[in-house]
Chains A and B, each alone.
Chain A
Amino acid sequence: MTLLWIPLLTLLGVLVPILTERYGRYLCTLATAIPPVIALILTLGQIPALLEDVVPRISLAWIPSMGLDLAFRMDGLSLLFAILILGIGLLIILYACFYLSAQEATGRFYAYLMLFMTAMLGIVMADNLILLWLFWELTSLSSFLLIGFWSYRSDARKGARMAMTVTGAGGLALLAGLLLLGDVVGSFNIGEVLASKDLILADERYPIILILVLLGAFTKSAQFPFQFWLPHAMAAPTPVSAYLHSATMVKAGIFLMARLHPALGGSELWMVIVTLTGLATMLYGAWFALFKTDLKGILAFSTVSHLGLITVLLGIGSPMAILAALFHILNHATFKAALFMSAGIIDHETGTREVGKLGNLRRAMPVTALLTTIASAAMAGVPFLNGFLSKEMFFTESLVAPLLGGLSWMIPTLATLGGILSVAYSLRLVHAVFFKPARVEPPKHPHEPPHLMRLPVEILVVLCIAVGLFPAALATGILTLATGALLEEPLAFHLAIWHGINLPLLMSIIAIIVGIAIYLLHQPINRFVKQFSPMDARLIFEASIQRLVAGTEVVTQRLENGSLQRYMSFLLGAALILATLGLVQLPTLAGTKPTQPMDGIVLWGAAMLIFSGIGTAVTHRYRLISLLMLSVVGLMVSLTFARFSAPDLALTQLSVEVVTMILLMLALFFLPQRTPRESSARRTIRDVALAAALGMVVASLNYAVLTRDIDSIANFFIENSVPGGGGHNVVNVILVDFRGFDTLGEITVLAIAGLGIFKLLNRLRLYMPHSDNEGRLWSPDRYPMILTSVSQTLLPLALLVSAFIFLRGHNQPGGGFIAGLVTAVALILIYMARGVEWTQSRLDFPYQPVAIGGVAVATLTGLGSWVFDRPFLTSAFGHFHLPLVGDFELATAMLFDLGVYLAVVGATLMILANLGKLTTPHRPSKEPQQPSKEKS
Chain B
Amino acid sequence: METLYAITTGVLSACGLFLTLRGRTFPVVAGLTLLSYAVNLFLFSMGGLTTDGAVIVNGGEEYADPLPQALVLTAIVIGFAMTAFSVILAMRARGDLGSDHVDGRKLEESRGDRG
Contact = CB atoms under 8 A, between A and B. Distances in A.
Nearest to B89: A760
Given A649-B69, A652-B77, A764-B92, A702 B42 contact: yes
Interface string A727-746: 01111001100010011001
A596 B89 CA distance: 44
Interface string A685-721: 0011011101111111111011100101110011001
A695 B10 contact: yes
A636 B11 CA distance: 14
Contacts of A721: 57
Interface string B81-100: 11111011111101100001
B64 A646 contact: yes
B56 A563 contact: no
Contacts of A699: 6-7, 9-11, 13
B76 A656 contact: yes
A749 B84 CA distance: 13
A698 B14 CA distance: 9
A705 B46 contact: yes
Contacts of B16: 613, 617
Nearest to B17: A691
A68 interface: no
Interface in A656-700: 656, 659-660, 663-664, 667-668, 670-672, 675-676, 678-680, 687-688, 690-692, 694-700
A566 B21 CA distance: 8
Given A620-B27, A731-B73, A813-B56, A565 B103 contact: yes
A756 B102 CA distance: 19
Interface string A593-610: 001111100110010011
Interface string B35-76: 001101110111111111111111000011111011011101
B97 to A, nearest CB: 12
A856 B66 CA distance: 27
A626 B37 CA distance: 15
Contact of B103 (A563, A641, A722): A563
A757 interface: yes
Contacts of A613: 8, 11-12, 15-16, 34
A646 B54 contact: yes
Interface in A542-579: 561-566, 568-569, 572
Contacts of A730: 55-57, 63, 66
A692 B13 CA distance: 9
A648 B69 contact: yes
Interface string A631-667: 0011001001101111111001100100110011001
B70 A731 contact: yes
Interface residues of B, number: 89
Interface string A608-621: 01100110110010
Contact of A707 (B2, B24, B31): B2
A121 interface: no
B17 A649 contact: no
Contacts of A330: none
Given A563-B115, A620-B27, A706 B2 contact: yes
Given A656-B80, A713-B67, A728-B57, A698 B10 contact: yes
Contacts of A633: 12, 34, 37
A691 B85 contact: no
User: Size band of the A side of the interface?
Assistant: 35 or more
A736 to B, nearest CB: 10
Given A643-B51, A645-B55, A603 B4 contact: yes
A915 B107 CA distance: 26
B6 A637 contact: no
A572 B16 CA distance: 12
Q: Among A616, A717, A739, which residue has the most Cβ atoms of chain B within 10 A?
A: A616
Q: Among B24, B42, B76, which residue has the most Cβ atoms of chain A within 10 A?
A: B76
Given A663-B87, A690-B21, A706-B2, A649 B72 contact: yes
A911 interface: yes
Given A610-B8, A679-B22, A753-B84, A698 B54 contact: no
Nearest to B58: A728
B78 to A, nearest CB: 6
A664 B29 contact: yes
Given A595-B1, A734-B67, A735-B70, A811 B11 contact: no
B16 to A, nearest CB: 8
B104 to A, nearest CB: 9
Contacts of A908: 80
Contacts of A616: 15, 19, 30, 34
A906 to B, nearest CB: 12
A695 B18 CA distance: 10
A503 interface: no
A646 B64 CA distance: 8
Contact of B30 (A626, A672, A695, A811): A626
Contacts of A563: 103, 114-115
Nearest to A754: B81
Contacts of A913: none
Given A646-B54, A907-B81, A706 B45 contact: yes
A750 interface: yes
Given A718-B55, A756-B85, 9 more contacts: A630-B34, A645-B54, A649-B73, A703-B3, A731-B66, A731-B73, A735-B70, A746-B77, A753-B85
Interface of B: 1-27, 29-31, 33-34, 37-38, 40-42, 44-58, 63-67, 69-70, 72-74, 76-85, 87-92, 94-95, 100, 102-103, 107, 110-111, 113-115
Instruction: Give 6 closest A-B pairs by Cβ, nearest first.
Output: A695-B14, A699-B10, A563-B115, A703-B6, A691-B18, A566-B115
12 contacts: A617-B18, A672-B26, A699-B13, A700-B10, A702-B5, A722-B57, A730-B66, A739-B70, A746-B78, A761-B88, A764-B91, A911-B88
Interface of A: 561-566, 568-569, 572, 595-599, 602-603, 606, 609-610, 613-614, 616-617, 620, 623, 626-627, 630, 633-634, 637, 640-641, 643-649, 652-653, 656, 659-660, 663-664, 667-668, 670-672, 675-676, 678-680, 687-688, 690-692, 694-703, 705-707, 710, 712-714, 717-718, 721-722, 728-731, 734-735, 739, 742-743, 746, 749-750, 753-754, 756-757, 760-761, 764-767, 811-813, 817, 821, 904, 907-908, 911, 915
